[in-house]
């Protein structure tokens, strides 16, 4: 057990959070390459070990061992090589959750090329933006009409792209993954000397969710997978040879968090449900039928699953539920525990790194709190001048001591944007611009993104607290709390609300919701304006765009 982890981590078992925080360390070799040192190594020592179980909406089901992934990634490395892809070249992949993602990502890792994952909802303009910014040389796409058409149009404006491969079928004008791999040799030599990758070379580039503006290209080096030992082993608590499911499209950093690096280092088998659309009842069915051991999904998915009859599904084999990406309302975790008997463990982080704060195994989950800092990074709450804030007061989450020891897993720059990179990483600390406070026991609670914190009538109001109060009312499925203009007060608190089935947005309900907030939190935080909508504006990844609501209401940042 723990064969790979024990190569790099002197200690794997810990008695307490304090023991873990003080004593967890990783030794990182200069020439570590995930595809050779994890995938090929598992294939060598345990050829039949299961790496991936993949199902889709048509009950197509496939299973891959580490030997399969090792062999197929060798074949695809030969294919990419023949297509002219070399170390340092950039390949953009839009593959939804197709199993070919794992094969191609490992093939490109073997060559030392940079993978840029992207999500399927991108438009022609988004794709061209990514290709031009990152200098993409080749594209690999799922055989989906929308994705392929948008890509073909984008390529008219993206001259750097020299070839395109389609997965999951044939398409005119595209090279076919299945044809290419069928005729490719499974022999591939790990490059040596200058052709070999070094730990600080760029392995991966994520585009951020674009919640606050244009998506940024976050660069990660070959060191990045080490950060995810914490994500997978100690937050999601994946178990060796057991199924772990994280719900995410391959276009997001969450995929690297939940479906690849840490899971495979810990020897867990990744379970993937390649759904066309998120149908809460269907996801619950899959979670039950496949007897998963660990599970992770964003808070919004838990919120929507709770609209179904959760207790009628047998989720008892699932030993750990995790969530990240947005704040988890206490109400959701309390309801989930009532129905499944288990609490949800929250994690916090960004595309820019691995999990930074989490409810680690030794910690009792506290509703409304994210947990405690990861031992890999120095995490502090700082004020605008870079001073520590005392417990109980709000500060920006920062990764400090960058100059002493650069944390494994943290990004190394924003590609094509040296100014932004310098601003973020050029000083002593990296400011995430996410606001939180710490209780005397060291648990951190999220307040809001700095830009989303509402400043009105001399108060600072974190949207998360008001949103959590509203979600605790049975009429509210989800909501966004923002500042709105007011002729007398300047700015007031506004709630944009999606109602549960059977409720109507009447003035009486508005009064009731306002009173409910006044009772649940400090009365000055109550929303003076309540607007009812069918759905909230969200990023393609499903994050609430509070900034868009503010802009539509005429509030400039
Ligand atoms: P962009 O940077 O393009 O505006 P984004 O920040 O939403 O988009 P991601 O990297 O996908 O892109 O998301 C990271 C952000 O998600 C964090 O900075 C934080 O604001 C939010 N987040 C992640 N986990 C949590 C959590 N557990 N609680 C609250 N917020 C979270
Ligand atoms: Mg961000």
DSSP for 139-170, written as a single string: EEEES-HHHHHHHHHHHTT-TT--EEEEESS-
Closest C-alpha to 266, from 288, 297, 303, 235: 235
Task: For residue 401, report the distance from its CA to the centre of ligand 1, in Å.
Answer: 22
For a substitution probing ligand 1, which of 117, 126, 207, 208 has the most ligand atoms within 8 Å of its CB? 208
Ligand 1, atom 15, lies closest to the CA of 350
Residue 418, class by beta-carbon neighbours within 10 Å (0-12 exposed, 13-18 middle, 19+ buried)?
Answer: exposed
pLDDT at 557 over 70: no
Q: What is the pLDDT of residue 373?
A: 98
Q: What is the pLDDT of residue 522?
A: 85
Residue 320's DSSP bridge partners are: 294
Q: How far apart are the first and last CA of the chain?
A: 52
Contacts of 120 (CB under 8 A, 6+ apart): 94, 96, 142, 144, 146, 147, 249, 251
For a substitution probing ligand 1, which of 254, 351, 354 has the most ligand atoms within 8 Å of its CB? 351
pLDDT at 155 over 90: yes
Cβ atoms 520, 473 nearer than 8 A: no
Task: For residue 31, report the distance from its CA to the centre of ligand 2, in Å.
Answer: 30
For a substitution probing ligand 1, which of 209, 360, 396 has the most ligand atoms within 8 Å of its CB? 209
Nearest bound ligand to the CA of residue 325? 1
Nearest ligand 1 atom to alpha carbon 541:
11
Q: Give pLDDT tens digits for 323-339.
A: 999 989 888 999 999 99
DSSP-derived secondary structure for 381-428: EE-TTSPBPPTTS-EEEEEE-TTT-PPTTS--EETT-HHHHHHHHSSS
Task: For residue 65, report the distance from its CA to the centre of ligand 2, in Å.
Answer: 35
Distance CA 106, CA 22 (A): 33
CATH code that applies to domain 471-552: 3.30.300.30
Task: For residue 351, report the distance from its CA to the centre of ligand 2, in Å.
Answer: 7
Q: What average pLDDT does the segment 217-229 reach?
A: 97
Is the CB of residue 164 below 6 angstroms from any atom belonging to ligand 1?
Answer: no
Is the CB of residue 416 below 6 angstroms from any atom belonging to ligand 1?
Answer: no
Distance CA 181, CA 106 (A): 14
Q: What average pLDDT does the segment 358-378 reach?
A: 96
Q: How sure is the predictor about 556, in pLDDT bands with cuts at 50, 70 and 90? A: confident
For the record, the structure tokens of 491 come out as 């700015």
Handedness of CA 292, 297, 299, 301 (dihedral sign): negative
Is 7-30+275-450 CATH 3.40.50.12780? yes
Is the CB of residue 397 below 6 angstroms from any atom belonging to ligand 1?
Answer: no
Task: For residue 68, report the distance from its CA to the centre of ligand 1, in Å.
Answer: 35
Is the CB of residue 546 below 6 angstroms from any atom belonging to ligand 1?
Answer: no
SS3 (DSSP) at 39: helix
Task: For residue 350, report the distance from its CA to the centre of ligand 1, in Å.
Answer: 5
Q: How sure is the predictor about 406, in pLDDT bands with cuts at 50, 70 and 90? A: confident
Q: What average pLDDT does the segment 542-555 reach?
A: 90
Q: What average pLDDT does the segment 202-216 reach?
A: 88
CB-side neighbour CA atoms (13 Å) of 156: 7
Fold match between 7-30+275-450 and 66-221? Answer: yes
Q: Mean pLDDT check: name the lowest of 13-27, 165-179, 527-541.
A: 527-541
Q: How sure is the predictor about 428, in pLDDT bands with cuts at 50, 70 and 90? A: very high
pLDDT at 210 over 90: no
pLDDT at 214 over 90: no
Q: What is the pLDDT of residue 503?
A: 96
Ligand 1, atom 3, lies closest to the CA of 210
For the record, the structure tokens of 88 come out as 């340092």
Task: Given the cut 0.90, state whether the ipTM is greater than it.
Answer: yes
Q: What average pLDDT does the segment 485-497 reach?
A: 90
Is the CB of residue 434 below 6 angstroms from any atom belonging to ligand 1?
Answer: yes
Is the CB of residue 249 below 6 angstroms from any atom belonging to ligand 1?
Answer: no
Ligand 1, atom 14, lies closest to the CA of 350
Cβ atoms 466, 493 nearer than 8 A: yes
Cβ atoms 246, 218 nearer than 8 A: no
SS3 (DSSP) at 105: helix
Residue 296's DSSP bridge partners are: 246, 322
For a substitution probing ligand 1, which of 254, 326, 347, 468 has the most ligand atoms within 8 Å of its CB? 326
Q: What is the pLDDT of residue 19?
A: 98
Cβ atoms 167, 76 nearer than 8 A: no
| pLDDT-above-90 percentage for the chain | 88
Task: For residue 438, report the distance from its CA to the centre of ligand 1, in Å.
Answer: 19
When computed from its CA atoms, the radius of gyration of the chain, rounded to whole angstroms, is 23
Is the CB of residue 538 below 6 angstroms from any atom belonging to ligand 1?
Answer: no
Let me know the angle formed at the C-alpha of 216 by 212 and 217, rounded to the nearest 5 degrees. Answer: 160
| pLDDT-above-70 percentage for the chain | 100
Q: Indicate the average pLDDT of the chain.
A: 95
Q: Give pLDDT tens digits for 38-88.
A: 999 999 999 999 999 999 999 899 999 999 999 999 999 999 999 999 999
Q: Give pLDDT tens digits for 252-300.
A: 999 999 999 999 999 999 999 999 999 999 999 999 999 999 999 999 8
Q: Give pLDDT tens digits for 156-187.
A: 999 999 999 999 999 999 999 999 999 999 99
Q: What average pLDDT does the segment 462-481 reach?
A: 93
Report DSSP state, residue 191: P
Ligand 1, atom 1, lies closest to the CA of 210
Nearest bound ligand to the CA of residue 209? 1
Q: How sure is the predictor about 541, in pLDDT bands with cuts at 50, 70 and 90? A: confident
Task: For residue 207, report the distance from its CA to the centre of ligand 2, in Å.
Answer: 10
Q: What are phi and psi of 521, to 5 degrees?
A: -125, -175
Q: What is the pLDDT of residue 492?
A: 92
Parse the chain into domains and list their residue ranges: 7-30+275-450, 66-221, 471-552
CATH topology for 66-221 is Rossmann fold (3.40.50)
């Amino acid at each position: 057990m723990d064969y790979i982890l024990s190569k790099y981590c002197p200690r794997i078992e810990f008695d307490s959070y304090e023991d873990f925080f003080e004593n967890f360390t990783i030794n990182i070799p200069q020439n570590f390459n995930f595809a050779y040192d994890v995938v090929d190594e598992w294939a060598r020592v345990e050829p039949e070990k299961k790496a991936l179980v993949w199902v889709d909406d048509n009950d197509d089901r496939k299973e891959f061992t580490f030997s399969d992934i090792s062999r197929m990634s060798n074949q695809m490395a030969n294919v990419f090589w023949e297509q002219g892809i070399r170390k340092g070249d950039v390949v953009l992949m839009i593959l939804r959750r197709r199993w070919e993602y794992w094969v191609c990502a490992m093939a490109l890792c073997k060559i030392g090329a940079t993978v840029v994952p992207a999500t399927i909802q991108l438009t022609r303009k988004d794709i061209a933006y990514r290709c031009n910014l990152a200098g993409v040389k080749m594209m690999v796409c799922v055989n989906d009409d929308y994705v392929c058409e948008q890509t073909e149009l984008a390529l008219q404006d993206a001259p750097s792209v020299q070839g395109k491969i389609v997965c999951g079928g044939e398409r005119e004008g595209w090279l076919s993954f299945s044809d290419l791999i069928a005729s490719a040799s499974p022999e591939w030599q790990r490059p040596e000397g200058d052709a070999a990758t070094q730990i600080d070379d760029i392995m991966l580039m994520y585009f951020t969710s674009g919640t606050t503006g244009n998506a940024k290209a976050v660069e990660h080096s070959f060191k990045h997978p080490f950060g995810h030992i914490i994500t997978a082993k100690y937050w999601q608590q994946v178990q060796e040879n057991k199924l772990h499911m994280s719900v995410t499209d391959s276009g997001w950093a969450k995929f690297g968090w939940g479906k690849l690096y840490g899971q495979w280092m810990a020897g867990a088998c990744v379970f993937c449900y390649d759904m066309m659309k998120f149908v809460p009842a269907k996801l619950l069915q899959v979670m039950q039928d496949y007897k998963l051991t660990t599970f992770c999904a964003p808070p919004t998915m838990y919120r929507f699953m709770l609209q179904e009859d959760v207790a009628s599904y047998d989720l008892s084999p699932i030993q750990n539920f995790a969530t990240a990406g947005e704040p988890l309302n206490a109400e959701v975790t309390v309801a989930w525990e009532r129905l499944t008997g288990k609490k949800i463990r929250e994690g916090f982080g960004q595309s820019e790194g691995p999990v930074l704060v989490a409810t680690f195994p030794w910690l009792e989950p506290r509703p409304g709190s994210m947990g405690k800092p990861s031992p890999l990074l120095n995490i502090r709450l700082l004020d605008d001048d870079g001073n520590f804030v005392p417990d109980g007061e709000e500060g920006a989450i920062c990764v400090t001591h960058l100059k002493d020891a650069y944390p494994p897993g943290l990004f190394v720059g924003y590609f094509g944007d040296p100014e932004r990179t310098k601003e973020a990483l050029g000083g002593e600390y990296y400011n995430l611009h996410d606001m939180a406070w710490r209780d005397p026991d060291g648990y951190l609670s999220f307040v809001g993104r700095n830009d989303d914190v509402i400043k009105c009538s001399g108060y600072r109001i974190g949207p998360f607290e008001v949103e959590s109060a509203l979600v605790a009312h049975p009429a509210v499925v989800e909501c966004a709390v923002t500042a709105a203009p007011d002729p007398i007060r300047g700015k007031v608190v506004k709630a944009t609300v999606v109602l549960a089935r059977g409720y109507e947005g009447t003035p009486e309900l508005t009064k009731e919701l306002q009173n409910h907030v006044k009772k649940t939190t400090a009365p000055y935080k109550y929303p003076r304006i309540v607007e009812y909508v069918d759905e909230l504006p969200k990023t393609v990844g499903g994050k609430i765009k509070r900034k868009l609501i503010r802009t539509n209401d005429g509030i400039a940042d």
